[in-house]
């Protein structure tokens, strides 16, 4: 669902630090930047600033684990770049993390369209 009112959207964001303090160990909550579902198949998108060298360790573990427990039904794509200007991506599927690769806006759109066609067919 698109954001209709950016000011209201940002004003409604919860601070996860306090909630994370309820968890044991060094765990914390993470947000999900984008998530969609089609016929029980899920696509999760995580966006990173272009200067972020890699996915943080805890988030990397989470993405590997969540795609593994999904039995192929959960795909995660990490996208690096400025808003609407992707430069790189990395795919998590079946508990595996692929290599980071160069991507353009059109290529990202095509990747999402291919996922949607796959999910629609299954």
The pLDDT confidence band at residue 1, using thresholds 50, 70 and 90, is low
Closest Cα to residue 43, out of 13, 2, 3, 75?
A: 75
Residue 2 lies in a domain: no
Assess if residue 17 is contained within a domain: no
> What is the residue whose two structure tokens read 């029980």?
40
Tell me the residue range of the domain where 42 lies: 30-121
Q: Is 100 exposed, middle or buried (0-12, 13-18, 19+ CB in 10 A)?
A: middle
**74 within some domain:** yes
Q: What number of CA atoms fall less than 13 Å from residue 57's CA on the CB side?
A: 2
Tell whether the model's pLDDT for residue 94 goes beyond 70. Answer: yes
Domain CATH code at residue 77 = 3.10.310
- Measure Cα distances from 115 to 73, 77, 105 in Å: 11, 11, 15
The 10 Å CB-count burial string (b at 16+, else e) for 81-93 is: beeeebeebbbbb
Q: What is the pTM of this model?
A: 0.89
Domain count of the chain? 1
Indicate whether 56 belongs to any domain. Answer: yes
- Tell me which of 12 and 44 has the higher pLDDT: 44
- Asked whether residue 21 is domain-assigned, the answer is no
């Amino acid at each position: 669902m698109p954001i209709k009112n950016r000011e209201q959207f940002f004003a409604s964001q919860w601070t996860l630090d306090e909630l994370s303090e309820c968890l044991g160990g060094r765990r914390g909550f993470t947000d999900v930047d984008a998530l969609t579902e089609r016929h029980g198949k899920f696509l999760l998108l995580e966006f990173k600033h272009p200067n972020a060298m890699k996915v943080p360790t805890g988030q990397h573990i989470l993405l590997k684990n969540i795609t593994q427990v999904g039995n192929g039904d959960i795909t995660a794509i990490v996208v690096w770049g400025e808003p609407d200007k992707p430069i790189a991506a990395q795919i998590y599927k079946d508990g595996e993390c692929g290599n980071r690769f160069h991507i353009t806006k059109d290529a990202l759109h095509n990747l999402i369209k291919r996922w949607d066609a796959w999910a629609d067919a299954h």
